[in-house]
Amino acid sequence: MSIDDMNEKRIASFTKILEETKEVEFPYNEFYYEIFESADSGFIVNVYADDEKDEDGYYLDKHIVDGGLCSGEARDAVEFML
């Protein structure tokens, strides 16, 4: 599934959650996405190959495949790694 295939409604939904709660997680294209507001500016976007989490509910670093800082708006962050 490409970003063009990702329903606009789903992108809008994830964006709204990110704006309201400052974090969102979702599966997409066999990966797991974690987006949260950066302490400095923008949003941190992490992509994981597995949804395994530790006892505190955090994704395990050993499964991270990509990540970065998106300095744009919430919608930009949702689309950043897709």
The structural domains of the chain, with segments of one domain joined by +, span 8-80
Report yes or no: 81 and 5 within 8 Å, Cβ to Cβ: no
pTM for the predicted model, two decimal places: 0.87
Sign of CA dihedral 53, 57, 62, 66: positive
At 3, give phi and psi (nearest 5°).
-60, -30
Burial of 14 (0-12, 13-18, 19+ CB in 10 A): buried
Per-residue pLDDT of the chain in tens (82 residues, 90 and over written 9): 555 666 888 899 999 999 999 999 999 889 999 999 999 889 999 999 999 999 999 999 999 999 999 999 999 999 988 7
